[in-house]
Amino acid sequence: MLSDARARSIFIQCALVASVIGCASLLVSTTFANLQARGIPIGFDFLTMPSRIVISEALLSYKSRDPYYWAIVVGLVNTIFISALVIAFSSVLGLIVGVTRLSSNPLAAGTCRVWVEIARNSPPIVLLIFLYSLWWKVLPPVGEALNPVPGVFASMRGFVVPALRFELDSTGLGLILLALLLLASAWLAGPARRLRSGLGWSAAGVLLLGLWLADIEASIDWPVFTGSNFRGGLELTPELSTILFGLTLYTTGFIAEIVRGGVLSVGSGQWDAGRSLGLSRAKILRLIVVPQMLRVIVPPMNSQYINVVKNSTLAIAVGYPDFLAVMNTIISKSSHSIEGVFIILGVYLALNLSLSSAANWYNRRIAIVER
């Protein structure tokens, strides 16, 4: 029977599926036996019970009376917050550093090269611990807080920066959402030019209407130094600042290399060809160079962004409560380890899959359309 390729293939697959099921059931039965021996209950009911764990800092308001599920949400929002800021900062910085590395100026190119090499060749966790240990060495106590730029204070207790505060009623919020929706559909409309400009203009109209009709109060909340403390502003603790700073430093090195590769991948012949068609520099850049560069850059950028989400788990090294740190505390506190592990796996897979499917969608839009 095994000489027939078809029969052999079916046999191998059945054997594989059977062994997977066998191993899984063996694992599950030992796990249940182990859990029963230790008297640990199973189920997600614990999520609604008060957690009594401590989360040292969070964007959302959190008290230890709050239930477990809220602690998980608070940790998740912290993770998303770190990842989003690091992705934004390092994309901008990486673009600058990557292009500067190609400059003919040896001072600028050399400095950027040193940055890239240090970032790419040191483990991010060592970088974070090192930066965290520098914190108390470099910055003064609160009483003598540095004030390099008006409104920004730096001291042992962290950074204080001006905060942007919005006061928005529901009409304004609704109209802004409508304008965003119109803009998104204008973008999606693709090559249909008239439809696109129509949608774009109506988005602008809606936005203006919103500004006129609704009560939008945007104000900047400047921090004030009272001699021993700060009033107002946004406080960034040493832990949060270390993670943001360290991960941005690290990711910038990788993004800079991706950008540099992208720029180098577009040959100088493309510029010559554009000039011979009589296009201006800006048009060559927009119509010829950037589209070709994007095609090279987007897939590796996507994996860098996913890496940022993964690296945000290193927050644990400096004691910032990100999602994984919160889950770890919850597991050791509630002993619901199986459920906790499933939540961890589910959340990271969902985060990364949604990031990469967004990038894949964008990648398909910019890919060469071949016949």
CB atoms within 10 A of CB 185: 15
Residue found under tokens 């577009």: 266
Say how many Å lie between the first and final Cα of the chain, rounded.
Answer: 44
Q: With contacts defined by CB under 8 A, how many residues of the chain interact with other proteins?
A: 55
Task: Check binding of 55 to other proteins (CB under 8 A).
Answer: no
- Position among 34, 64, 265, 280 found at the interface with other proteins (CB under 8 A): 34
- Position among 22, 102, 130, 166 found at the interface with other proteins (CB under 8 A): 130
Minimum CB–partner distance for residue 337 and other proteins (Å): 5
The neighbouring-strand residues paired with 216 are 168
Rounded Cα–Cα distance for residues 44 and 26 (Å): 23
Task: Check binding of 118 to other proteins (CB under 8 A).
Answer: yes
Q: Which residues, at least 6 apart from 176, have a Cβ–Cβ distance to it below 8 Å?
A: 168, 207, 210
Stretch 313-352 residues interacting with other proteins (CB under 8 A) = 313-314, 316-317, 324, 328, 331, 337-338, 340-341, 344-345, 348-349, 352
Task: Check binding of 262 to other proteins (CB under 8 A).
Answer: no
Residue 210 DSSP label: H
Applying CB under 8 A, the span of 110-118, 141-149, 176-184, 252-260 interacting with other proteins comes to: 110-118
Q: Which residues, at least 6 apart from 5, have a Cβ–Cβ distance to it below 8 Å?
A: none
Rounded Cα–Cα distance for residues 47 and 69 (Å): 5
Minimum CB–partner distance for residue 221 and other proteins (Å): 30
User: Beta strands 153-155 and 158-161: pairing type?
Assistant: antiparallel
Positions touching other proteins (CB under 8 A) are: 9, 12-13, 16-17, 20, 27, 30-31, 34-35, 100, 103-108, 111, 117-118, 120-127, 129-130, 133-134, 137, 306, 309-311, 313-314, 316-317, 324, 328, 331, 337-338, 340-341, 344-345, 348-349, 352-353
